Amino acid sequence: GAVVSQHPSRVICKSGTSVKIECRSLDFQATTMFWYRQFPKQSLMLMATSNEGSKATYEQGVEKDKFLINHASLTLSTLTVTSAHPEDSSFYICSARRRGLGGELFFGEGSRLTVL
Amino acid sequence: GQQVMQIPQYQHVQEGEDFTTYCNSSTTLSNIQWYKQRPGGHPVFLIQLVKSGEVKKQKRLTFQFGEAKKNSSLHITATQTTDVGTYFCAGPSAGGTSYGKLTFGQGTILTVHP
């Protein structure tokens, strides 16, 4: 079946550094991917929609300069958390929809970011 | 804006008891999806309901879509410890231009005591 892979699964960084998270669709092309943020025991909050070959669409309240999204190919989207601070610590999950398989989303394994 | 509300937030049951989580949308939905997220894991698609009044079953899980297409429920019969996790409902985001953009409910965290 369709698989979405996310890397790294865990990352710990110092405050002020930038962290890049990759999201790959392994066996299908994804023109659109979605990035979510999830706090412990809470729901999935959509951060942005990543569009291949064009700018990402950010949700209200999400800083585009803080969370840089690049969707350079049909199988790869990246999320870069710039100048990370402890409040950016969270679980980041990407997802993609495979055309022809209905509306279901395939989620990556998630990346747990801890900023010290 | 569009809201998808889910209750209860937490549910603790003894193994063998039944469990139900309810989902209500502030707007009419073209479809509703259900996902399960195991502790420490990522959401996994369970099912999609499209038709008004639709009922679908997956073994011990029964999914319903309301007649008005604004509410849905997931019922698990005779829970097992493998049912532990968070169950999310999700509907297409209102006004969204990206196909596949979903609004998720808050989720119901299910704990099953052996």
3-state secondary structure B30-69: CCEEEEEECCCCCEEEEEEECCCCCEEEECCEEEEECCCC
Q: How far is B15 from chain A (nearest CA, A)?
A: 22
Residues of chain A positioned with their CB less than 8 A from the CB of B88 = 43-44
Burial profile A78-91: b = 16 or more Cβ within 10 angstroms, e = fewer: bbebeebeeebbbb
* Residue B95: pLDDT over 70: no
Cα dist from B104 to B1, B22, B93, whole Å: 13, 13, 9
Contact assignment for B100 to A57 by CB distance below 8 Å: no
Rounded mean pLDDT of B46-65? 97
Which position has the higher pLDDT, A30 or B19? B19
pLDDT at site B99: 63
Cα dist from A45 to A37, A92, B12, B32, B51, whole Å: 5, 10, 25, 17, 27
pLDDT at site A54: 86
Q: Tokens in use for A99?
A: 């055309």
Indicate the residue of B93, B100, B106 with minimum beta-carbon distance to A105. B100
Lookup result for tokens 């499209």: B50
A49-53, A59-63, A67-71, B71-75, range with the lowest pLDDT: A49-53
